[in-house]
Amino acid sequence: ELSEDVIAAVTHIAKRKDVRSDLIGLWGISQGGWIGPLAATKSKKIKFVIGVSGPTVSPYKQGLYLDRNQYIERGLTKSEAIDASILFGAMVRYYGNPTIESRREAQLIYDRFKNASWRKKSEIREIMGLVDSVSTVSRIKELQKRIPGLHHHRYNTFYDPIPTLYKLDQPYLAIYGGKDRIMNSRRSQNMMNEMFIGYKSNFKMLFFENGNHGIRKFRGTQNLPYIDGYVEGYFDRMLLWLKKLQ
């Protein structure tokens, strides 16, 4: 749905006399790295795409990576953070596909960690509200009917961007930062190299070792607030890629 909004915006802009319709492209960061390529596969009016910190995995997998880092930053050990993400992940899968089988899986994992000491830590309670109990299948389906947009949860959460990238014909520049704690930039870098770079001539990638999610200079354990400015070369190399398209 968001990709359709993007296409509508591009269609409107292309009608302006002060805009070259043959040079309209998209720049998107984070979630925009999913939406931009998807929109471009639906509209040839989009001539190029730049994806900054756009994950090559589903929102579900990206979310688990972010959750683990948040758990660690709030005081959990790495082992506890992995356990917490296993529990949270099981609940997300169940809410996305509420069946008797998925509820059974969620209940087994819930019972496994029900009395885990890390669940009692105040620092973790506010981001673990989803796993206070295992709702019934009928209850979740009822919520899906009552809450607008919840029925799209399964599609959005488990959206796989790889097929879209395979279909993308326009020039595409993927940009990642090595200090990103919101998404697994190393994994996306490896997937881009293995699947696209060198195989699709329209795909290029930039990787800034000291950049965070916004390709700003990394300091400390948090991506926010941004206090050090952008990584050197980020804008220059992106603009150089754009100039080659003209």
Residue identified by tokens 């809410």 is: 95
Take residue 130 and report the two structure tokens written for it: 């989803």
Q: What is the pLDDT of residues 189-200, one digit of tens each?
A: 999 999 999 899
Element (H, E) at 50: strand 49-52
Spell out the residues 6+ positions from residue 6 whose beta carbon is closer than 8 angstroms to its own. 26, 35, 36, 39, 46
Q: Identify the bridge partners of residue 206 per DSSP, sorted by sequence position.
A: 175
Spell out the residues 6+ positions from residue 25 whose beta carbon is closer than 8 angstroms to its own. 46, 47, 48, 49, 50, 170, 242
Q: Identify the bridge partners of residue 25 per DSSP, sorted by sequence position.
A: none
Alpha helices in the chain (DSSP H): 2-14, 32-42, 59-73, 78-96, 100-113, 122-125, 137-146, 153-157, 162-167, 185-195, 234-245
Query: By the 8 A CB rule, do 60 and 92 touch?
Result: yes
Predicted structure pTM score? 0.85
Across residues 116-128, what is the average pLDDT? 69
| Phi, psi of 169, deg, nearest 5 | -100, -25
Q: What is the pLDDT of residues 19-38, one digit of tens each?
A: 999 999 999 999 999 999 99
Residue 128 confidence (pLDDT) above 60? no
User: What pLDDT is recorded for position 103?
Assistant: 87
Label residue 71 by pLDDT band (50, 70, 90): confident
Query: By the 8 A CB rule, do 35 and 28 touch?
Result: yes
